[in-house]
Structure 1
Amino acid sequence: MLLNLLRRWRHWRRSRPFWGGLFAVLAGAWICVLPLAPLKIMLQQGVAGIPSVLMGIVMIVLGLAAWFSPPQRSLAGVLTTLIATAALVLSNLGGFLVGTLLGILGGGLMFAWQPDAARRAGRAGKPDGADGADEAGTAESAVAAPPPPTPHHDPQGAQP
């Protein structure tokens, strides 16, 4: 039961930009929490805390969007990076630089993530060295036609 649950979790985590979304959610939470400090500090800050809270909420939503809608990861990654950079100026130095750095890292990871087309095509079961070379290891047998591209659900049509 537990092994099956861990296997399902691993499959879910690997089928989406998990780490990029996690860093974006952490960055948004960090930027959001700083202006919501004790009430005495918030009253002195005034209206300046509103952009911080809004940017943090948007970054959290973008991180969750990357998790639950992987085809939108490129847009979410770019927007997360832009908002994290804007937070540097608009929100307490981007959460004292921690929120900005986490947001830029998360946005970059979301943008760079690609679905693993080889695993879905069933070629992941090949052991290392099973590329068509015979026991003698001749160069003629190792040179083969490249495999045909595998279709995947990426709306932009990028091939890994």
Structure 2
Amino acid sequence: MSAETPVQSAGTFARLRLRFRAWRGTRPFWAGLFTLLGGVPIAYFPYATLKLGTMSVAMATTAGAGSLIIGVLLVTLGLTMWFQHATRVFAGVAAIVLALVSLVVSNIGGFVIGFLLAMLGGALAVSWAPGKPKAEGAGPHEAEQGPSSEGAVETAPDGAVGEPGAPYHAHDPATDGPADRTPEAAAADSNGGYRVG
């Protein structure tokens, strides 16, 4: 072994971690995880035999097959949220419906644990939205420039103050002469700073 081996393994671990982080950021990861984990207790408890000292407790009910189907469907929906994130809304609504059905069918939703996990996963899947990719060449200063939506005011070029579509600039009597005032600026001053029209 050489002295460089730990550095290479740390680099590999860091690369894998960053790759997983990038993969996780493009899909509803936590929604899929909670939904998947919610299906496990719902499917497990009807078939489990719990030991309490010398006493064994079995939750054998007639709804064992229903519990297994609901649990497997929730696990499948969790994996669907990870690998087919375009269907996240359908998968989230289906997870919520299956969690509600598990209250009646599967021992109070896997002793409420599976119910809560599946409900949380379904809600996260429905509310998740993909992030908008950055434009190529966009620097950190472009994000700080302010809103760029429909209602955002853009700065006007020099000499365009007072033209229709240009932002309002307050009149300073000390620096602006009467020739600098346009009818729109005068109307804006008379309306408390708001432009009309």
Partners of 2:96 and 2:138 in 1: CA distance: 33
Higher strand share: 2
Which residue identity does 1:50 align to in structure 2?
A: A
Which residue identity does 1:48 align to in structure 2?
A: A
RMSD: 2.6
CA deviations 1:95-129 (Å, max 9, x no partner) are: 11111111110000011111101x34358752587
Q: Please state if 1:69 is matched with 2:80.
A: no
Per the TM alignment, residue 73 of structure 1 is displaced from its structure 2 partner at its CA by 0.5
Match of 2:74, SS?
helix
Moved beyond 6 Å, runs of 4+ = none
Q: 1:60-139 alignment to 2 at 5 Å?
A: 60-117=75-132, 119-122=133-136, 125-127=139-141, 130-131=144-145
Match of 1:22, SS?
helix
Per the TM alignment, residue 45 of structure 1 is displaced from its structure 2 partner at its CA by 2.3
Q: Please state if 1:36 is matched with 2:57.
A: no
The answer as to whether partners of 2:81 and 2:87 remain within 8 angstroms in 1 is yes
Q: Please state if 1:53 is matched with 2:71.
A: no
Per the TM alignment, residue 90 of structure 1 is displaced from its structure 2 partner at its CA by 0.8
Structure 1 length as normaliser, TM-score? 0.74
Point out which structure has higher relative CO (alpha carbons under 8 A, 6+ apart). 1
Higher helix share: 1
Partners of 1:41 and 1:132 in 2: CA distance: 62
Aligned positions, number: 135
Structure 2 length as normaliser, TM-score? 0.61
Distance verdict in 2 for CA 1:46–1:129, change over 3 Å:
closer
> 46-55 or 61-70, which moves further after superposition?
46-55
Which residue identity does 1:126 align to in structure 2?
A: P
Partners of 2:48 and 2:146 in 1: CA distance: 62
Gaps of 5+ in 1: 134-141, 146-160
Distance verdict in 2 for CA 1:114–1:37, change over 3 Å:
same
CA deviations 1:58-115 (Å, max 9, x no partner) are: 0000000010001010100000000001101111000111111111100000111111
Q: Which residue of 2 aligns with 1:144?
A: 154
Q: Percent identity?
A: 40
Q: Please state if 1:20 is matched with 2:34.
A: no
Distance verdict in 2 for CA 1:125–1:55, change over 3 Å:
farther
Gaps of 5+ in 2: 1-11, 51-55, 156-197
